[in-house]
Amino acid sequence: MMKRIVLAITGASGVCYGKRLFDCLKSKAEVHVIISERGAELLKLELGLAPSYFSGEQVTLHKTSRMNSSIASGSFHVDAMVVVPASMGTVGRISAGVSGTLIERVADVMLKEKRKLILVPRETPFSTIHLKNLLALDQAGALILPASPGFYQGQNSLESLVDFVVARILEQLGMEQNLLKPYEP
């Protein structure tokens, strides 16, 4: 059966990771996309894209301000949620259980239902507060997968570095990926 995946894009730099993940998932999974207000600004700034880019046969685009949505409920089975990129603001609010937007609420549901929540933070340097929030989320069951590509593949084009991170996300989702070959010395 096709996996049901929630992809959230928030207002951190590196929206290219979210876009690339979407491109890889859209024909292979049922994808529910949520874009924060600042995430939409970053999509425009960094990629020249509008939220309408995130469309497709098995794709639903949700408004993060609209809580009255199927995915806000634990009774709607979602296999996994990926927040990519994850801003420190969103990380902090998920960690505090704020649940004030659809992104925060779905992340909260993933944690309470013990489902897979993958957070891809992008910030540097990290403050003590960022690190404490990330640790709390790890302890609550989330997977912290930093947007931190390796450079050992040799051909380090921008695309291959983005693919490095996206491949690791796809592996964590249990999806086949051919973006990154296993390391061979």
Ligand X SMILES: Cc1cc2nc3c(=O)[nH]c(=O)nc-3n(C[C@H](O)[C@H](O)[C@H](O)COP(=O)(O)O)c2cc1C
Q: Which of 7, 11, 25, 120 binds ligand X (CB under 6 A)?
A: 11
Which residue number, 55 or 124, has a Cβ lying nearer to ligand X? Answer: 124
Length of the chain: 185
Is 108 a binding residue for ligand X by CB under 6 A? The answer is no
The smaller minimum CB distance to ligand X, of residues 42 and 180, is found at 42
CA distance 3 to 41: 29
CA dihedral 6, 10, 14, 19 (to 10 degrees): 40
Helix count and strand count (H, E) for the chain? 6, 6
Instruction: Check binding of 95 to ligand X (CB under 6 A).
Output: no
CB of 120 to ligand X, least distance (A): 11
Q: Given candidates 13, 60, 153, 160, which one binds ligand X under the rule CB under 6 A?
A: 13
What does the block give as tokens for 64? 């993060």
Query: What does the per-residue mask of binding to ligand X show for 24-53, with x meaning CB under 6 A?
Result: ------------x-xx-----x--------
Distances (CA, A) of 180 to 102, 119, 137: 32, 20, 27
Euclidean distance between CA atoms 67 and 139, whole angstroms: 26
Q: Which CB, 100 or 174, lies closer to ligand X?
A: 100
- Is residue 177 a contact point for ligand X (CB under 6 A)? no
Residues that bind ligand X (CB under 6 A): 10-13, 36, 38-39, 45, 87-90, 122-123
